[in-house]
Amino acid sequence: MGDPKGFLKVSRETADYRPVCVRVKDYKDVVAMRSDPATIEQASRCMDCGTPFCHSACPIGNYIPEWNDLVYRGQWKQAYYLLAASNNFPEFTGRLCPALCEYACVLGINDDAVTIREDELAIIEHAFKEGYVKASKPAVRTGKKVAVVGSGPAGLAAADQLNKAGHTVTVFEKDEQPGGILRFGIPDFKLEKSVVSRRITLMKDEGVTFAAKTNVGVDMSTDQLLKNFDAVCLTCGSRVPRDMKIDGRELDGVYFAMDYLMQTNRKVCGEAFCYSADINAKGKKVLVIGGGDTGSDCVGTANRQGAACVKQIEVLPQPGELRPEGQPWPKYPTLLKTTSSHEEGVERQWAILTKKFEGFNGRVTKVHCVKVDFSMKEVAGSEFIIEADIVILAIGFLHPEYSGLVKNLGLELDARGNIKTDEKFMSSVKKVFAAGDMHRGQSLVVWAISEGRRAAHFMDEFLMGKSSLPII
**Terminal-residue alpha carbon distance, the chain:** 25
Q: Which amino acid is at 217?
A: G
CB–CB of 431/232 below 8 Å?
Answer: yes
pLDDT tens by residue, 214-240: 999 999 999 999 999 999 999 999 999
pLDDT tens by residue, 358-415: 999 999 999 999 999 999 999 999 999 999 999 999 999 999 999 999 999 999 999 9
Percentage with pLDDT > 70 across the chain: 100
Percentage with pLDDT > 90 across the chain: 96
Q: What local confidence, expressed as pLDDT, does residue 472 receive?
A: 87
Mean pLDDT of 350-357: 98
Q: In this structure, are strands 16-17 and 240-241 parallel, antiparallel, or unpaired? A: unpaired
pLDDT tens by residue, 83-139: 999 999 999 999 999 999 999 999 999 999 999 999 999 999 999 999 999 999 999
Phi, psi (rounded to 5 degrees) for 129: -65, -40
Q: In 76-109, which positions are buried (b, 16+ CB within 10 angstroms) versus exposed (e)?
A: bebbbebbbebbbbbbbbbbbbebbbbbbbbbbe
Q: What local confidence, expressed as pLDDT, does residue 1 receive?
A: 65
The reported pTM is: 0.96
Sign of CA dihedral 443, 298, 290, 176: negative
Q: What local confidence, expressed as pLDDT, does residue 270 receive?
A: 87
Residues 6+ apart with CB under 8 A from 6: 44, 45, 46, 47, 72
- Rounded CA gap, 286 and 303, in Å? 9
- Rounded CA gap, 96 and 405, in Å? 29
Q: Which amino acid is at 248?
A: G
Sign of CA dihedral 122, 124, 127, 131: negative
pLDDT tens by residue, 25-34: 999 999 999 9
- Rounded CA gap, 413 and 402, in Å? 10
pLDDT tens by residue, 174-206: 999 999 999 999 999 999 999 999 999 999 999
Name all domains of the chain by residue range, CATH numbers in brackets.
6-130 (1.10.1060.10), 145-239+399-464 (3.50.50.60), 243-395 (3.50.50.60)
Sign of CA dihedral 6, 10, 14, 15: negative
- Rounded CA gap, 12 and 40, in Å? 12
Mean pLDDT of all residues belonging to the chain = 96
Q: Which amino acid is at 299?
A: V
pLDDT tens by residue, 132-159: 999 999 999 999 999 999 999 999 999 9
Q: What local confidence, expressed as pLDDT, does residue 50 receive?
A: 87
Q: What local confidence, expressed as pLDDT, does residue 34 receive?
A: 93
Q: What local confidence, expressed as pLDDT, does residue 231 receive?
A: 98
Nearest to 238 by CA among 419, 426, 424: 419
Nearest to 178 by CA among 147, 156, 202: 156
pLDDT tens by residue, 438-449: 999 999 999 999
Mean pLDDT of 247-269: 96
